[in-house]
Amino acid sequence: MDYCLIGGLAVDAYVEPVVSLDVDVVLALNDIETIVQSIQAQRLKVERFEHSVNVGSPNSDIRIQIHIDERYQEFITRAEVKEVLGYQMKVVCVEDVLQGKIWAYEDQTRRQSKRQKDLADIMRLKEVFLVLERLTPINFTNVSL
C-alpha cells in the first residue's frame, strides 16, 4: 500500500515534537476500500466523512484519520522515510506538510482551536526551514497566535 503521514506527526518529523493523539495519513485512493474492509474485519470503529475516513478503537485514545481529499494524493509521490516517534515511516516532504497545514488553517469549517494549532505548526516549520517563507501566502507572514 502506498501512503504518507501528513498533519501534526509529519510536522513533528521535521521539528521538535508536540504530543498528538491524531494520526493523519493519505493512502492511495484505489486502496481505500480494501483497507477499510480490513480495518472493519479487526472490529475497529470506522466513520466516513466527506474528506476522510476516521478509525478508532475503544482500547486506544489514538485516532487515525485517512484523508481522501484528492489534493493530497500527489503528496505520496514526494514522501520520504523519516523517523517518527521511534518508527521509520513515509512522511510527506516538508513543503507538502506546509501546504497541508495551510489548507487546514484556511478551512473555516474546522474548530478554531484546531485552526490555531495548524497556524502554530506553520510557524514552527517556518522557524526551522526559513526557505518555507517563500511558499507561505502573504496573509500568513504577519499572523500572530
User: Among 2, 12, 3, 1, which Cα is nearest to 94's?
Assistant: 12
pLDDT of residue 140: 63
**Average pLDDT value over all residues in the chain:** 91
pLDDT of residue 132: 92
Measure Cα distances from 11 to 32, 33, 80, 104 in Å: 24, 27, 13, 13
CATH architecture of 3-140: 2-Layer Sandwich (3.30)
Q: What is the pLDDT of residues 96-114, one digit of tens each?
A: 999 999 999 999 999 999 9
Provide mean pLDDT across the span 83-102: 94
pLDDT of residue 18: 84
pTM: 0.83
Q: What is the pLDDT of residues 19-31, one digit of tens each?
A: 888 999 999 999 9
Q: What is the pLDDT of residues 43-81, one digit of tens each?
A: 999 999 999 999 999 999 899 999 999 999 999 999 999
- What is the residue whose three cell numbers read 516549520? 125
Partners of residue 87 on adjacent β-strands: 84
How far apart CA 97 and CA 84 sit, in angstroms, is 14
